[in-house]
Amino acid sequence: MIMLRSIGINFAKASPYLRTVRFNSTGSQALNWVEYLALKKQGRRINVTASVLTGLAGAGLTLNGLANIEIDPEKPIMGFDPLYVLIGGIMLGGFVGYLVGPVIGTPLFNLKNRAVLHEYKIKDKIFLERIKQNRVNPTSQSLANPVPDYYGERIYSLKDYRQWLRDCNAFRRKSREFL
């Protein structure tokens, strides 16, 4: 049974995906947790930036398209004031553009970090398994005791991870004591 203490995974019992990991001494160094979390933060920032830019582009393209349509301001469109319909259309175009952002941001992140992408994906799989193991049962949540970040989406540093673990333990303690 192979056990790596630094990451806490028993490879004999791990999923087949994790058993195929090769550790080469001649290859690049394995990604540590600090580097992984920094890459995770970078990927999130790239996706949000791409979403904002594509949202603005979508709203601009919609505005450009609607500006070329001749509309009678006194005649309602489907029973609504034409100004409201135009504003709603521009907002819808911006929202659709915002949703397209990660479709552009994720390949940019993968292209930028292609040298460590394989190790990043392995570390991501291990991280998500740790989140699954340590997250709380949300059935006992309330307004006074909300669930702490169920999917671990806001964990971008070891400090954030430790705080998330403390929050999960506090949630468990409160749900045991008050229910």
Residues 6+ apart with CB under 8 A from 137: 175
Of 73 and 15, the one with more pLDDT: 73
| Mean pLDDT confidence for 99-127 | 97
**The whole model's pTM is what?**
0.76
Q: What would the two tokens of residue 37 be? A: 């979390």
Q: What is the pLDDT of residues 151-164, one digit of tens each?
A: 999 999 999 999 99
Here the contacts of 27-30 (C-beta below 8 Å, separation 24 or greater) are 28/115, 28/116, 28/119, 30/119
Question: What's the pLDDT score for residue 72?
Answer: 84
The yes-or-no verdict on residue 12 having pLDDT over 60 is no
Q: Are 58 and 101 in contact (CB under 8 A)?
A: no
Question: What's the pLDDT score for residue 142?
Answer: 84
The yes-or-no verdict on residue 108 having pLDDT over 70 is yes
The yes-or-no verdict on residue 18 having pLDDT over 60 is no
What residue spans define the domains of the chain? Answer: 32-134, 135-179
The yes-or-no verdict on residue 46 having pLDDT over 90 is yes
Question: What's the pLDDT score for residue 3?
Answer: 45
The yes-or-no verdict on residue 24 having pLDDT over 50 is no
